[in-house]
Amino acid sequence: MKVKKFTHQFLSTFTLSPEGSQYSVFRYNREVDTHSQILLQDHQTNMDDFMYAFDDIPYDGSGTHTGNAINHVVDYILAPGKGNRPNAQDIVLLITDGRSQDSVRRPAQRLRQTGATVFVLPILPPRGRLDMAQVREIAGREENIITDAIEGGFEALTAQFSKKVGDMICRNPCKHTLHDHLAL
């Protein structure tokens, strides 16, 4: 639940509007949870409605198929007709607490080819390990890896840290008024 609370705090730091930020969020494990996903077009003006929908996303399941989730971003979330704006910078924040059980190389390349800026927040799980080579493949650039939660694990996911992540992600894209955020 700390990941969900952190994501809630993180999203709350932005303003939702048709002329500014738009958000999409979905949960994945072995499969992408399309039932509870929030598309960019679903809540364009009302942050309270967006947060209500976000709070309804379950936090359960097992397995980590990150490559499948990234393909979902490219094939569905960022597809025309789902609310993605062609004149807006797409920013993807991928939060992961485990090793992907499927390949991430090609899906990550496809995502970056869309022009999206990809940030990865790897969280060291209590009983597990991270594959930093996979994290690097997803992010594409070392500076797009948010490393604070690698050592601190879930305990690092504080309100102060969520603001820091928001500031880091917005340092360049927020110079532009239009950007679409996607958290998964």
pLDDT string in tens for the chain (184-residue length): 677 887 888 787 777 888 778 888 999 989 999 999 998 888 888 888 988 998 999 887 777 899 999 999 999 999 888 888 888 888 888 888 778 899 999 999 999 999 998 988 888 777 777 889 999 999 999 988 888 777 776 677 766 776 777 777 666 544 444 545 555 5
**Domain 2-183 in CATH 3.90.230.10:** no
Structural domain boundaries of the chain? 2-183
pTM: 0.85
Contact of 94 with 138, CB cutoff 8 Å: yes
CB proximity list for 57: less than 8 A, separation 6 or greater? 4, 25, 26, 27, 33, 36, 37, 38
CA-CA distances (angstroms) from residue 47 to 2, 51, 71? 21, 6, 27
Question: What is the 3-state composition of the chain as percent helix, strand, coil, each rounded to the nearest 5?
Answer: 40, 15, 45
- In this predicted structure, what is the pLDDT of residue 99? 82
Distance between CA 70 and CA 10 in Å, rounded?
Answer: 20
- In this predicted structure, what is the pLDDT of residue 173? 46
